[in-house]
């Protein structure tokens, strides 16, 4: 055997070992082989089950709440400086595109206070532009640069929160990423392979989890009218009307009048967990940060005997009477199950969403369907492969073995490369595999037909093999490069599934260039070297 052939053999052996390593790692036991295989070869959502979500962050929510805060502070500042005003309102942008149009209108500022009012706005709210509508009315709009910053900040915070919530669920393989497209800066793609209770995940994601704890001014009232009637239709200054959640065994809905500014909010929460109360009912306990604990302690001390409302997502969850000073802990009662209490503690820990979420896309593949797809895909693949191998063996006799080995090695390299790159195998990916197998078969057929032709012209076996491979190589390069070119373009411009197809196909084609032209050829050369005087080639 010549040294050239030996070197080629070593290269092939090296590739096989490397592939085995990428697929199975270095297993120490039988179980580990299977475990490593599962670890390295990841199946996509469509094959193993799981959820894929695309949500849109309703940025306008953040703009509205920013305007609300500014209005509160502006009212305070004006009261301090003794500036009266007729009314203060903001508009209500309904969609993402309109978010930037947020505007606060202040009407009825006395003429002689124009100067001080303008000073307050420009000094204390430099992020806002002010324009006079007429002599006493003004409109404030968010500056363009500030609006941009607020958009960006909202998206970042929302993504962080979503990420924390998903991680809190223990879905370690999931990914949360911003979706890239021209106007898609507010879209987030969440992939959660293997999730078995997608409804719960959606519930957790869509909870805004805005927690507020504040003073109860009055209530509960059985209806909105009753509450307003108590104050002759006009709420006292700095207070707001909040509905309570209806619970089993209690009168349907009721309303509370609360202080507008809460004492502590969700941002002050240090930790939260699910636990049981003295009656064995599930609840969520939380602890406050040091700073907030001091504030809360002072407030509860001053208000012993009064009531306190725990408001979650703009609904009063409970309104207990303050018995004594409370420092750093509280609880939210009324969970119907441990899971509900645990989920609430999870979202409290992860923090509130700065804006609401809207679902744009969801794909949920149940675990049973994934299992069916894998099984059916496997049977189909196996049936196809067996048919191909049998026909190759019949048609090309002993050379069919070469082709089969090259084909198997091609598949092995493809799987190993998927494992190495951490790519996931999806249905479109399987399409890529099928085309790869088709082209691998084709390469072998091309080569063998060519060798046959060369033999027919009366060439000696080594020469026929040589020129057969040489001639077919040109064709193979052209077919492969054409497909790789198109895959590169599909990868650049296509969306998720199309990309998966392109990647798998490119890897498969590169592997095929190696197996069909190098490995298969080495096998032929080895046959010739073993038996230099062979009379006929089994092809």
Tokens found for residue 407: 């084909």
185 touches other proteins by CB under 8 A: no
Nearest-approach distance from CB 75 to other proteins, in angstroms: 33
455 binds other proteins (CB under 8 A): no
The one segment of 103-111, 213-221, 386-394, 415-423 that binds other proteins by CB under 8 A: 386-394
SS (H, E, C) 264-278: EEHHHEEEEEEEECC
Q: How far is the CB of 498 from other proteins (least distance, A)?
A: 6
Residue numbers 193-212 binding other proteins by CB under 8 A = 195-200, 202, 206
Number of residues in contact with other proteins under rule CB under 8 A: 88
Query: Is 510 a binder of other proteins (CB under 8 A)?
Result: no
- Interaction residues for other proteins, span 124-153 (CB under 8 A): none
**Interface stretch with other proteins, choices 124-132, 222-230, 314-322, 473-481 (CB under 8 A):** 473-481
Taking alpha carbons only, the member of 59, 65, 67, 55 closest to residue 95 is 59
Min dist. Cβ of residue 479 to other proteins (A): 5
CB of 486 to other proteins, least distance (A): 4
Which structure tokens are listed for 225? 């009218």
Per CB under 8 A, does 469 bind other proteins? no
Binding other proteins (rule: CB under 8 A), the pick from 16, 471, 510, 518 is: 471
432 binds other proteins (CB under 8 A): yes
User: Which residue of 364, 401, 459, 529 would you call a contact of other proteins, by CB under 8 A?
Assistant: 364
Contacts of 193 (CB under 8 A, 6+ apart): 42, 43, 44, 45, 48, 49, 50, 173, 174, 424
Q: Where are the beta strands (DSSP E) in 222-268?
A: 239-243, 255-259, 264-265
Helix, strand, coil percentages for the chain (3-state, nearest 5): 55, 20, 25
Task: Tell me: does residue 460 bind other proteins (CB under 8 A).
Answer: no
CB of 124 to other proteins, least distance (A): 38
- Contact pick of 86, 108, 126, 438 for other proteins (by CB under 8 A): 438
Name which of 1 and 369 has its Cβ closer to other proteins: 369
Does residue 463 touch other proteins according to CB under 8 A?
A: no
Give yes or no for residue 398 binding other proteins (CB under 8 A). no
Tokens of 257: 């009048």
Q: How far is the CA of 388 from the CAs of 231, 375, 440, in angstroms?
A: 85, 20, 11
Q: Is the preceding omega at residue 146 within 30 degrees of 0, hence cis?
A: no
User: Would you say 290 or 482 has its CB closer to other proteins?
Assistant: 482
- Shortest distance, CB of residue 385 to other proteins, whole angstroms? 7
Q: Which of 224, 384, 460, 463 is in the footprint of other proteins by CB under 8 A?
A: 384
Q: Would you list the DSSP string of 324-382?
A: S---SEEEE---SSHHHHHHHHHHHHH---SS-EEEEEEEEE-HHHHHHHHHHHHHHHH
Q: How far is CA 455 from CA 295, 372, 451, 470, in A?
A: 94, 48, 6, 14
Stretch that binds other proteins, among 33-41, 157-165, 389-397, 519-527 (CB under 8 A): 389-397
Check residue 375 for interaction with other proteins (CB under 8 A).
yes
372 part of the interface to other proteins, by CB under 8 A: yes
Task: Compare residues 213 and 409 and give the one whose CB is closer to other proteins.
Answer: 409
383 or 534, CB closer to other proteins?
383
Return all residues near 494 (Cβ < 8 A) that are at least 6 apart.
501, 502
Among 98, 377, 408, 510, binds other proteins (CB under 8 A): 377
Residue closest to 412 by CA, chosen among 7, 103, 40: 40
- With CA atoms as reference, report the closest residue to 323 among 303, 297, 340: 303
């Amino acid at each position: 055997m010549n040294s050239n052939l030996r070197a080629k053999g070593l290269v092939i052996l090296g590739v096989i070992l490397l592939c085995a390593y990428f697929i199975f790692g270095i297993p120490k036991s039988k179980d580990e082989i299977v475990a490593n295989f599962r670890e390295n070869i990841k199946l996509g959502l469509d094959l193993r089950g799981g959820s894929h979500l695309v949500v849109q962050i309703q940025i306008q929510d953040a703009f509205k709440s920013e305007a609300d805060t500014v209005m509160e502070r502006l009212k305070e500042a004006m009261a301090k400086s003794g500036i009266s005003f007729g009314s203060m309102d903001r508009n209500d942008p309904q969609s993402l595109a309109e978010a930037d149009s947020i505007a606060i209108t202040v009407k009825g500022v006395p003429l002689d206070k124009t100067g001080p009012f303008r000073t307050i706005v420009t000094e204390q709210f430099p992020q806002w532009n002010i324009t006079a509508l007429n002599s006493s009315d003004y409109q404030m709009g968010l500056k363009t640069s500030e609006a941009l910053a607020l958009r960006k900040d909202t998206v970042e915070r929302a993504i962080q929160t979503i990420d924390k919530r998903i991680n809190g669920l223990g879905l370690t393989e999931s990914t949360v990423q911003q979706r890239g497209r021209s106007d898609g800066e507010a879209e987030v793609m969440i992939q959660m392979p293997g999730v078995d209770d997608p409804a719960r995940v959606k519930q957790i994601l869509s909870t805004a989890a805005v927690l507020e704890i504040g003073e109860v001014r009055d209530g509960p009232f059985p209806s909105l009218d009753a509450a307003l009637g108590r104050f002759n239709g006009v709420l006292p200054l700095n207070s707001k009307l909040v509905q309570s959640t209806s619970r089993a065994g209690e009168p349907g809905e009721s309303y509370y009048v609360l202080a507008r500014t809460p004492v502590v909010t969700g941002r002050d929460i240090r930790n939260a967990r699910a636990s049981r109360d003295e009656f064995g009912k599930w609840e969520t306990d939380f602890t406050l940060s040091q700073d907030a604990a001091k504030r809360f302690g002072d407030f509860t001390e001053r208000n012993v005997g009064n009531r306190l409302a725990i408001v979650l997502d703009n609904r009063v969850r409970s309104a207990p009477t303050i018995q004594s000073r409370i420092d750093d802990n509280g609880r939210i009662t009324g969970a119907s199950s441990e899971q509900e209490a645990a989920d609430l503690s999870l979202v409290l820990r992860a923090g509130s969403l700065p804006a609401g979420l809207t679902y744009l896309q969801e794909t949920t593949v149940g675990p049973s369907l994934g299992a069916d797809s894998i099984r059916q895909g496997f049977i189909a693949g196996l049936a196809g492969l067996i048919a191909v191998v049998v026909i190759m063996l019949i048609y090309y006799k002993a050379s069919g073995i070469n082709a089969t080995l090259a084909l198997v090695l091609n598949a092995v390299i493809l799987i190993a490369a998927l494992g190495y790159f951490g790519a996931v195998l999806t249905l479109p990916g399987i399409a890529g595999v099928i085309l790869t197998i088709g082209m691998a078969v084709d390469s072998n057929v091309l080569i063998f037909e060519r060798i046959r032709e060369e033999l027919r012209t009366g060439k000696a076996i080594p020469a026929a093999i040589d020129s057969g491979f040489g001639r077919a190589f040109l064709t193979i390069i052209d077919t492969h490069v054409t497909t790789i070119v198109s895959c590169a373009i599909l990868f650049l411009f296509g969306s998720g599934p199309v990309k998966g197809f392109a990647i798998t196909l490119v890897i498969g084609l590169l592997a095929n260039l190696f197996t069909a032209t190098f490995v298969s050829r080495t096998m032929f050369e080895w046959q010739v070297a073993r038996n230099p005087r062979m009379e006929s080639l089994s092809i």
